[in-house]
Structure 1
């Protein structure tokens, strides 16, 4: 599953500065009202083209497989109590963006994020982070009706964390490393980065030692950065090759992490150890906000990256009253440290998620409490976020601090 330098750059969303914004584009969004919406962007006009009552009681996250044109939706309903559950639903996508349900299955409760990964033969799987369910689970793809999970990792804590929100383990995301050999899951409740190596044979996840994050940080979302240089190595344990995994270890790799409770951003150097796991060393902690201090009640939510530019959405800072903020950060090519570049308008309240299109010239912001999808311009030369291009109300607004309103938005790319 080795990725070429060109493939890595494409994965990171880099695009030619000479390309022009698409005339028409498709997006999908979820709302905690139990609907998945299809949106169409034509120039500067964003419109609702379809909606579907689906994905359980609390549609929370969308993951799109562009190769198979299948969309996956995670339902956040349920808890760690086995008498409750969430769901995972797969949809085929028509040329007009309409969705047709292929299969659905019950899951551990609280599914808030998912990621698709592969084994060495290109067979696909999906991993889900279960916030209230205190678990990470995986499923074989293509998804079958009422399919059982492939694996389930359930977590427990002996002691509560720094704040009531850390009453139990709360995995908030799963994201793939640049080689496709590892999955990382930030656990907001346990202040851990949980790490799994992926078996090239059968796609099974193998637990690696978790990495401690500063007590009370509440890690939420993260991204990998890589310089794209390759070196072939094998995983080994006591001199023996394990899982028959051979992957491309990049010359320079880092993880950038945003912490919801501590209001910080951290960077880690990543080493591909011959033990078959990842070795992380923290190199920086900063507050990703103007003046180096997060406003009271404000929290970082989502982080995205294009090249050496990072973007973080800030919920409830009211930086552009009555709207919240997006912040842009620069990465130093010298040591990988990040510094705040500027702050821009999110054009709504509680920007829970956002997505940057493949061309790198448009950003779709999902404002949860406002229940709006906002399209803003991104300058591909400077990386700065600019003016609002389009806006659409998607479902009813939600109350700040509750699981109401818009929950996710992605591009059909």
Structure 2
């Protein structure tokens, strides 16, 4: 036969590829990666490496601005110098470094806010910093806030100093909240959107030893905080006065295990995440599916009350981050220590997580309790 393409085979191949989606993955060795998840008409999935870019340092968190297709990455480097980086992503997955500037050490999270600004939480340095965008070499922070404590907290080994762990903008865009794991505080600022300047508001004080790490809003009036040291999720009612500062009132607290059981020693709640009326929390080192860890899920009523639903395997160890696609039918889990990306099915109607459909190791594996391995995952949406 000649080398001509058989049109029937060509059409068959096209039909077999039902859809494809990209996933962003950062690794503590300094890379940002793009993976492509492809589903087929036969119901299977394949996960392949698309591209990779070494941005240096220890990328710990990614925020994706879909309008400009830019990833902003925090750097958890704890010695020498750290940076904030901006990387653009082409629609085919190609990565390009477009901005980088020095930042305080130990950056663990960032968030875009106001009219072109970015806020960073620096765990190691007990600081929150803000920068004007775009990032340029040597620009320096717009503002830097440094926190102190009069003594060690309830958990001295983990609460030796303030440890901001997230920069979270409320749904109105008028306030910045920062869970401080070391000080047992939820720090609050009001935002001047035009200038990017922050004005301090009264903080909310958690019970000693709670260790607030990561938060997420449910609508405008309900906030959930995942607590790394207490291994709980706290629900808060949010009050917005006519003028002045946002305030919080605690309404509920549950552990991240069935029956409100206390987590095993060594467990550390990671990220909390909301999709529709369901809340998810990553359990690191709980070994509920030994040797693997778990993801807990809760249903939410209209008032924001949590009801435990299920606990499922994370498909690896130390799940640091978690995300659900816009369609709501797939979830991606970033297992830090085993350095693997895990894709599981999700029922959009019930919120329940289902079977694992794909998994892929990225870079080198890590060691428990170390800042190594895989750090964060995001859908390209």
Distance 1:70 1:22 in 2: 27
Contact 2:123 2:164 in 1 (8 A): yes
Q: Any stretches of 5+ residues in structure 2 without a counterpart?
A: 1-16, 40-44
SS of equivalent residue, structure 1 residue 353? strand
Counterpart CA distance in 2 for 1:304 and 1:198 is: 24
Q: Could you say what secondary structure the match of 1:284 adopts?
A: strand
Aligned to 1:410: 378
Deviations 1:33-53 (A, max 9, x none): 121111111111111111222
Please point out which of 317, 321, 334 is paired with 2:290.
Answer: 321
Q: 1:308 aligns with which of 254, 277, 294?
A: 277
**Counterpart residue number, 2:59:** 59
8 A Cα contact 2:320 2:336, kept in partner: yes
Q: Which residue of 1 aligns with 2:13?
A: none
1:148 paired with 2:140, answer: yes
How far did 1:298 drift? 1.2
Shift in alpha-carbon separation, 1:146–1:358, aligned structure 2, 3 A: farther
Confirm or deny: 8 A CA contact 1:30 1:406 kept in the other structure. Answer: yes
The runs of 4+ residues in structure 1 deviating greater than 4 Å are: none
Instruction: Say if 1:78 and 1:108, in contact at 8 Å, map to a contact too.
Output: no
Query: How do 1:278-293 and structure 2 match up within 5 A?
Result: 278-292=246-260, 293=262
SS at match of 1:129: strand
Q: Do the aligned partners of 1:29 and 1:408 also contact (CA within 8 Å) in 2?
A: yes
Is the counterpart of residue 330 in structure 1 residue 299 in structure 2?
Answer: yes
Is it true that 1:196 corresponds to 2:165 in the alignment? no
| In structure 2, C-alpha distance between the alignment counterparts of 1:383 and 1:22, rounded to whole Å | 23
TM-score normalised to structure 1 length: 0.84
- Return the alpha-carbon distance in structure 1 between the equivalents of residues 304 and 354 of structure 2: 25
CA distance in 2, matches of 1:332, 1:296: 31
Q: Deviations over 1:250-289 (max 9, x none)?
A: 5xx0111110001111111110023421111111122121
**CA separation of 1:382/1:57 partners in 2, compared to 1, >3 Å: closer, same or farther?**
same
Is residue 2:209 matched to residue 1:208?
Answer: no
Q: 1:116 aligns with which of 112, 115, 125?
A: 112
CA distance in 1, matches of 2:167, 2:25: 19
Q: What is the CA–CA distance in structure 2 between the aligned matches of 1:136 and 1:99, rounded to whole Å?
A: 28
CA contact (8 A) 1:316 1:324 kept: yes
Q: Distance in 2 between matches of 1:214 and 1:275?
A: 28
> In 2, Cα distance between the equivalents of 1:199 and 1:171?
21
Counterpart for residue 45 of structure 1? 46
Paired residues for 1:2-17 under 5 Å: none
CA contact (8 A) 2:216 2:272 kept: yes
Cα deviation, 1:162-190, whole Å, max 9, x if unaligned, reads 12111111111111111111111100000
- Give the 3 Å change call, closer, same or farther, for CA 343–70 of structure 1 in structure 2: same
Q: Tell me the equivalent position of 2:88.
A: 92
Q: CA deviation at 1:211?
A: 0.7
Secondary structure of the corresponding residue to residue 158 of structure 2: helix
Query: Where does residue 169 of structure 1 map in the other structure?
Result: 162
1:160 aligns with 2:129: no
Q: Is the 8 A contact 1:270 1:281 kept in 2?
A: yes
The 2-side partners of 1:92 and 1:310 are apart by 30
Pairwise CA distance, 1:299: 1.6
Gap runs ≥5 in structure 1: 1-20, 227-249
Distance (Å, rounded) in 1 between the aligned partners of 2:18 and 2:275: 18
Aligned to 1:27: 23
The question of whether the paired residues in 1 share the 8 Å contact of 2:113 and 2:193 is answered with: no
Structure 2: distance between partners of 1:147 and 1:363 = 37
Q: Which has the larger radius of gyration?
A: 2
> What does residue range 76-91 of structure 1 map to in structure 2 within 5 Å?
76-78=76-78, 84-91=80-87
The answer to whether the 8 A contact 2:61-2:110 is kept is yes
1:286 partner SS: strand
How far 1:93 moved relative to its partner? Answer: 1.4
Query: 1:85–1:110: 8 Å Cα contact kept in structure 2?
Result: no
- The secondary structure found in structure 1 opposite 2:259 is helix
Post-superposition CA distance 1:59-79 (Å, at most 9, x none): 111111111111111110136
Paired with 1:92 and 1:345, the residues of 2 have a C-alpha distance of: 33
Q: Is the partner of 1:291 in helix, strand or coil?
A: helix
Q: How many Å apart are 1:296 and its aligned residue?
A: 2.0
Per-residue deviation at 1:22? 7.5
